[in-house]
Amino acid sequence: MSSQHVQTDVVVVGGGLMGASAAFFLRQRGVSAVLLERGLVGQQASGVNFGNVRRQGRFLPQLPLAHRSRDIWGRLPELIGHDAEFIATGHVRVVYAESQMADVEKYATDAKHWGLDLQILGRSELRKRFPFFGPEVIGGSYSPNDGHANPRLAAPAFGRAAKRDGAQVIEDCEVLQVEKSGQDFRVNTSSGLTVTAPAALICSGAWGGAMSAAWGEPVPMVPKGPTMAVTEPLPYGIVPVVGVSTRIEHEGVYFRQVRRGNIVFGGGRRNPAYLDGRRANVNPNWTLGQLHELRRIAPALGKLNVLRTWSGVEGYMDDDIPIMGPSAKVSGLYYAFGFCGHGFQLGPGVGDVMAELIATGASSTPIEPFHIHRFTSVPAAETAVVNA
C-alpha cells in the first residue's frame, strides 16, 4: 500500500451526517479538514434513519441546538446546493390516552420557554385538519415548522459540498490508530494514508464509544437497529410527519409520506445491531407489530403494501442523550456521536456547532448537557489504539 501523509487543521473521523456537515462548516470558517470514512459517506445510521426533521418531543435543553439545525435545513440549497428533499410539512404527535394528552400539553407549555410554539389539537380539530386519523386517536400536538428530509441524500450532499469547498473527503479508508504526539494527532489508516492535525473530531456514531474509551473516556452505549419500512406509492396527501406519543414501546410508531407518494414508517421495537458486522437486521415480527399500530393511527394504511424493510446500526446512550463537545481529558480532541436514534434533525446543527467550537474555542449554542465529562473519571491514555 502506498504511504501518504497529509497535514490538516482538523481530522474528522467518520463520514456520517455529523462528520460530513462538520467538514463542510469547518470549510465555511476557512479551516482545513480531512474527513475519513471507512465505507461511504452517510452509509450507516445517517442513511437508514426515518428522516425526521422534528423538534417537538425532544429533551428541552436540546432545543437551542435543534433550532439552529432547523435553520440550516431551510437553507440547504444555498449552502450545499441540494435540498436533500427537506420540506417543512409540520409534525403531529398524537395520543391515545388522556394521561398522555396531559404530558403533551405540559410539553407544549414548557417548550414555549425554549422557543418552540406548538398547537394543541383536540379530537375534532385534529380530524378536521387531518381526516386520516382513526377513532382511537384522541388528540395531539402540532409543530408547524418541523418536517422531513431524505436521509439517503443528506449526508452525501454535505460530503460533496465539503469536498467542493476544499475539504478532503476520503472514503473506503478505515482509521486504524489515533495517537497524540506533541501538539498533533496522528491518524493511521487502512489505505496507508497518515493524517496529522492539531484537532481531531470523532463522529463515528455507534463505533464512537470504542474511540472515546481508547482515550480513557468510556461511555455507556449500546448499538441497536431501527425497524424501518416503506410502502408502495399512493397519491400525495398526507402532509405532516405523524408520530405517536406514548410510554408503551411498541405503540411508538411514526410515518411520513414523501412527495413521490411512498409512506416511510418506523418506530416501535428496535433490533439487535452488530458493530463488527456493521449490520442490523429487521425482526419481521416487529414489522408486523408496526402494521398493527399503523392501522390504529390511520386505518386506511391497511390497504397498502410494504415494499421494503431495513435497519442499520445506531448508538444509544443509557441516558438517551448524545455525546457532543470537547474531550474532558485530551486537548484538541472533540466528540459528536451516540445520537440515540434522534440525530438526523440535529445533524447539520451539530456540524455547525462543532466547527464553531473547534475554530473559536466556544459554541454560541449551549451544549454542556451533552459533554462527555458526565461519564468520565479515569486518567487519559497516551495512545489510543482503535480496532487494532
Q: Which residues are at the interface with other proteins (CB under 8 A)? A: 40, 47, 152-153, 156, 160, 230-232, 260, 281-285, 287-289, 291-292, 294-295, 301-310
Residue 157 Cβ vs other proteins, minimum distance, rounded to whole Å: 9
Residue 204 Cβ vs other proteins, minimum distance, rounded to whole Å: 20
Residue 326 Cβ vs other proteins, minimum distance, rounded to whole Å: 33
Q: Between 106 and 308, whose beta carbon lies closer to other proteins?
A: 308
Q: Between 139 and 159, whose beta carbon lies closer to other proteins?
A: 159
Residue 307 Cβ vs other proteins, minimum distance, rounded to whole Å: 6
Q: Between 140 and 268, whose beta carbon lies closer to other proteins?
A: 268
Q: Between 123 and 295, whose beta carbon lies closer to other proteins?
A: 295
In order, the DSSP letters of 257-276 are E-TTS-EEEEESS-EEEETT
Residue 317 Cβ vs other proteins, minimum distance, rounded to whole Å: 27
Cell of 354: 462543532
Q: Between 63 and 294, whose beta carbon lies closer to other proteins?
A: 294
Contacts of residue 227, defined as CB under 8 A and 6 or more positions apart, other chains included, come to: 266, 267, 268, 269, 270, 271, 282, 283, 286, 287, 290, 309, 311
Contacts of residue 78, defined as CB under 8 A and 6 or more positions apart, other chains included, come to: none
Contact between 352 and 193 (Cβ < 8 Å): no
Cell of 226: 431501527
Q: Find cell 418541523 and name the residue.
A: 146
From 388, 386, 375, 385, select the one nearest 329 (Cα to Cα): 375
Cell of 10: 482538523
